[in-house]
Amino acid sequence: MSVYPIVLTQGTFKHRDSLNFPFEERGLQFGDGVYEVIRVYQGKYYLFNEHIDRLYRSLEEIKIAIPYTKEDFAELLLELLKKNDMDTDGKVYLQVTRGSAPRDHYFPENVDANIYAYAEPAARNIEMMKTGVHTITLPDIRWSYCHIKSLNLLPNVMAKQEAKINGSFEAIQHKDGLVTECSSSNVYLVKNGKIYTHPKTNGILHGCVRIAVEKFAAGLNIPFIEEAFRVDDIAGADEMFLTSSTTEITPIIKVDQDVIHDGKPGQITRKLQAAYAADANIAQFSEDVPVLTSKSNE
């Protein structure tokens, strides 16, 4: 199955085939909107409030008003899973644009935002999380408001495709030699028992999994340092990993020509993966670290 049949649109539920937005649509013509991707495990949202909070921050930044409180929207998104009897691992994509109106750069007046959300199955990529991934480095050519989860993903798409062409999973982006984030994930470097990652400025998306990782690190007494590392630091890294709602915590074992930690995921990465699984109440897959209970990282 691709997408579950019932989708949420403008506050009501419809069959996915009956959705039709006009071609004069702000999201389509200007990328004038924002989105979220929320992880679902066994039919239950993970880091749900974090995603809702970020959605509302993004909307506020680009001045789109929607007729729902956070609680209303959360209720609708919960209903979406119920209407589809969703009980698998999956994800929900949701998008809000400034609406449908004749093409004009000025914001249209008295036009409703277009809102839709749909659910789809998505298995955890256990193999990738076990073995780790290869990455490349690229200059970060994006705009100055990367904390907004904007629909304008052209630079991200170009970077991700460049990674693929080079036989890699992701592209690590950098500005003036300082690492910001990957094309669709946050990135971290471990050195001497400490985790380093870019501070939560406008230069990166403030990842929901990153919030969780910071919490796990605190529970494990691992220093979490919000300081950008340099591309030059990568060759000497003890471990590296990336995070996103679908890749969870994935080890990075190669960056360009540099092999990280002999090409094997490191112990801190493994501990964080175990903490994630305990927190999300999902299967542990790593045998080389003790299984944590959810209590142990509270």
Does position 246 interact with ligand PSZ (CB under 6 A)? The reply is: yes
Does position 209 interact with ligand PSZ (CB under 6 A)? The reply is: yes
- Write down the least CB distance from residue 174 to ligand PSZ, Å: 14
Q: Is 271 a residue of the active site?
A: no
Pick the binder of ligand PSZ from 207, 219, 251, 266 (CB under 6 A).
207
Q: Which of these ranges, 3-11, 205-213, 256-264, 265-273, lies near ligand PSZ under the rule CB under 6 A?
A: 205-213
- How many CA atoms does the CB half-sphere of 76 hold within 13 Å? 21
- Write down the least CB distance from residue 32 to ligand PSZ, Å: 18
Pick the binder of ligand PSZ from 84, 97, 137, 185 (CB under 6 A).
185
Does position 279 interact with ligand PSZ (CB under 6 A)? The reply is: no
- Write down the least CB distance from residue 101 to ligand PSZ, Å: 27
Q: Which of these ranges, 69-77, 132-140, 181-189, 280-288, lies near ligand PSZ under the rule CB under 6 A?
A: 181-189
Which residue among the candidates 14, 63, 91, 149 is catalytic per the annotation?
Answer: 149
Does position 243 interact with ligand PSZ (CB under 6 A)? The reply is: yes
Pick the binder of ligand PSZ from 184, 197, 273, 297 (CB under 6 A).
184
- Write down the least CB distance from residue 157 to ligand PSZ, Å: 11
Q: What residue ranges bind ligand PSZ (CB under 6 A)?
A: 37, 156, 181, 184-186, 205, 207-210, 243-246
| Catalytic positions, written as ranges | 149
